[in-house]
Amino acid sequence: MTYSSVQVATDSVENKYSVILPTYNERGNLPIIVWLLAKTFKENDLDWEIIIVDDASPDGTQEIAKQLINVYHQDRIKLKPRTGKLGLGTAYIHGLQFVTGNFVIIMDADFSHHPKFIPELIRLQKSRNLDIVTGTRYASNGGVYGWDLKRKIISRGANFLASTLLRPGVSDLTGSFRLYKKEVLQRIISVVISKGYVFQMEMMVRARQFGYTIGEVPITFVDRVYGESKMGANEIVQYAKGVWQLFITI
């Protein structure tokens, strides 16, 4: 047995990766993203679980999740629904209550984040014992596909604004494809005050404030395959307000 195979076997015993997957009207996406996640973890000999946090989707997402539990079993898939749309940040807080792994992966359920990048996040974390590894669209060979010019300008502008004012040292502040040590995520999320899309940005700012180590892996972000984007004008305004609030308080 080679050193690498011994290391993989050891890692699969010692580490467990918990994916928190917030959903709202993801009936069409959920079976495929779960299949891709399961395939990725199995191919890399990793212990895993998926916590689905559904905000009372009216399209039957929870019924699909229950069928997936029957397929993959309760030790792999957990459905932890909520009573309504309560925000992304609180979805992670809710999901964390049910995590049994020592690492937590947060990502979208709409194929914006492909599970094929998860092994790269894990490899970088192991190589430097990082507290956080975040996928980035804006460094090296990362990129965005399926957005029009307006959406790209908004995203770039949001990152530029936060980077200029807050200087967190991360190239993609608004991304939501990340790997955390469980205890690190628990500490950061306990002090975050933002809601909505500004939540992800504040997570990185707080991480730097606490002195946590952060690495970046270039990813390709693809606009959602099924369903509609949940980004609206109100989220953009709230993001700008959130950046300013952090600037004057941190």
pLDDT tens for residues 58-94?
Answer: 999 999 999 999 999 999 999 999 999 888 889 999 9
pLDDT, tens only, 100-126: 999 999 999 988 889 999 999 999 999
pTM (2 decimals)?
0.80
Name the nearest CA neighbour of 191 among 105, 250, 104, 131.
250
Place of tokens 């199995």: 42
Tell how many helices (H) and how many strands (E) occur in the chain.
9, 9
Q: What are the strands, taking DSSP E only, across 34-153?
A: 47-54, 77-79, 103-106, 132-136, 143-145
CA distance 198 to 96: 19
Residues in the chain: 250
User: Are the C-beta atoms of residues 26 and 110 closer than 8 Å to each other?
Assistant: yes
User: Are the C-beta atoms of residues 227 and 29 closer than 8 Å to each other?
Assistant: yes
Name the nearest CA neighbour of 59 among 32, 21, 31, 28.
28
Neighbours of 230 (CB within 10 A): 15
CA distance 233 to 231: 7
C-alpha dist (Å) from residue 127 to 11, 58, 121, 239 = 12, 43, 10, 33
Query: What DSSP line would sit under 156-183, residue for residue?
Result: HHHHHHHHHHH--S-S-SS---EEEEHH
pLDDT-based confidence at residue 1 (cuts at 50, 70, 90): very low
pLDDT, tens only, 38-53: 999 999 999 999 999 9
CA distance 41 to 49: 9
Task: Give the pLDDT of residue 120.
Answer: 97
Q: What are the strands, taking DSSP E only, across 16-75?
A: 16-23, 47-54
Sequence-distant (≥ 6) Cβ neighbours of residue 7 within 8 angstroms:
none
Percent of the chain with pLDDT over 90: 56
Mean pLDDT, residues 123-135? 97
Place of tokens 């979208």: 108
CA distance 84 to 70: 24
User: Are the C-beta atoms of residues 94 and 80 closer than 8 Å to each other?
Assistant: yes
User: Are the C-beta atoms of residues 87 and 139 closer than 8 Å to each other?
Assistant: no
